[in-house]
Amino acid sequence: MRLEYLHTFQKVVEQGSLLYAARALGISVSTVSAHVSAVEEFFGERLLERRRSGVELTQKGRIAAQEVRSILTRLERARREVAMRSTPPLRIALGNIPGVVLLPEVLREYRLLKPELELAVLIKNSSECAALLESSEVDVAVACFLEGELDAKYRCALLGRDRLVLVLGREHPLAEVPELSIRQVLRHPLVTLPESSGITRYLHAALRRRGIAPEEIRSIAEVNSVFSQLQAVARGLGAAITSEIAARSMNSGLVVREIEDFAVERHLYVVCRRDSAHPGREEFVSFFLERGRELLS
């Protein structure tokens, strides 16, 4: 039994007509009829009743059609899996926030849909994500990038927006102050992140736009990740100007405040190079954007 005959038989069942199936497949009606006859000969039964209005499955034809559909579905799944086995992993770099807040849920759901696709995931700061993408060491990067940081060789899709907010422990002296200015905040020690961090780069750029030198920040401690920063704040080490998304995901005794004269918004992007294309990339990116936007909303 040729696979082509099974495909033709399934198309006839879907279309309910030899003529419509022939048009859909781009072959003649006589060829469609011959393929259907070959399938009926294989099963040893009449599977279709030919009528003026089209065709209808016989009782045994319904059983055969169900099995044919199952066979073709399994074969297509096997074909995709074999193709993926010979394909290198899809390499993804994520900033700390999408890597911790979004990735676990998105990855769990995507692996249920595409268990055959192998993923290689790195969680880095945004500067490192940009460098990995620039050197083609990853296929996709998900991070907050500064305006103008990515040029025309990249394809960028907006995933969501984040804001810089003031995060405090409940006992911090600023926790009960009704309105806060950036100058008030900078009088207090802050838990900071490295200069390569996307949060720090956004913070410094925003301070310079307001005529404030980043050196005016009184850093009591520099930590490697935004989540270490938030843990340090929760334990009373100091305050922090940091990601609202990260702070609200912690929900661990933190006070999140806006700074009245310091509204800074960051854009979170999913980015690919235009000159490279992993066979599994587009589907993954579409899924990540859709599910990631839902999780951020």
Look at residue 91 and tell me whether its pLDDT is greater than 80: yes
pLDDT digits (tens, 9 = 90+) for 68-89: 999 999 998 888 777 666 678 8
Angle 42-1-6 (CA atoms, 0-180°, nearest 5)?
90
Per-residue pLDDT averaged across 83-105, rounded?
87
Q: Which domains are assigned to the chain?
A: 3-85 (1.10.10.10), 90-159+268-296 (3.40.190.10), 161-266 (3.40.190.10)
pTM of the model: 0.68
CA neighbor of 182 nearest in space, from 209, 161, 162, 201: 209
Backbone φ, ψ for residue 21 (5° rounding): -65, -40
Give the whole-angstrom CA distance, residue 52 versus residue 276. Answer: 52
Structure tokens at 179: 């309105």
Res 295: pLDDT: 93
The per-residue pLDDT for range 120-152, each reduced to its tens digit, is 999 998 889 989 999 999 999 999 887 777 778
